[in-house]
Amino acid sequence: MAFLRDLDDPRFAARLAAALAPTDVLVISFALLLSFVSWAVVPAIGTATGLIVANLLACGLVVTLAVAAGGSGSVLLRAAHAWYPVPLVFLAFKEMHLLVGPLHGGRAYDDLLIAADRWLFGVDPTVWLARFTHPLLTEVLQAAYTSFYFLFLLLGVELYRRNTPEDFRIFMFTCVYGFFLSYLGYFLLPAVGPRFTLHDITALDRELPGVLLTPWLRWFVNVGGSVPTGAPNDVAMAVAQRDAFPSGHTMMTLVLMVVARSARARVAPVLYVIGSMLIVATVYQRYHYVVDLLAGLLFMILCVTTVRPWYRALRRRFPAP
pLDDT tens sequence across 284-300: 999 999 999 999 999 99
Handedness of CA 250, 252, 258, 263 (dihedral sign): negative
Chain center to CA of 84? 14
Handedness of CA 44, 50, 53, 59 (dihedral sign): negative
Helix, strand, coil percentages in the chain from 3-state DSSP, rounded to 5? 75, 0, 25
What is the per-residue pLDDT for 1?
42
Peptide bond into 87 cis (omega under 30): no
What is the per-residue pLDDT for 217?
97
DSSP state of 240: S
Low-confidence ranges of the chain (pLDDT < 50): 1-5, 7
What is the per-residue pLDDT for 320?
66
Query: Among residues 205, 143, 181, which one has the least CA distance to residue 303?
Result: 181
| pTM for the structure as a whole | 0.91
Question: Which residues, 6+ apart, have CB-to-CB distance to 195 below 8 Å?
Answer: 126, 201, 204, 285, 286, 287
DSSP string spanning 87-139?
A: HHHHHHHHHHHHHHHHHTTT---HHHHHHHHHHHHSS-HHHHHGGG--HHHHH
Chain center to CA of 74? 29
Measure the N-to-C terminal CA separation of the chain; round to a whole number of Å: 27
Distance (Å, whole) CA 136 – CA 138: 5
Question: b vs e for 25-36, b when ≥16 Cβ sit within 10 Å of the residue's Cβ?
Answer: bbbbebbebbbe
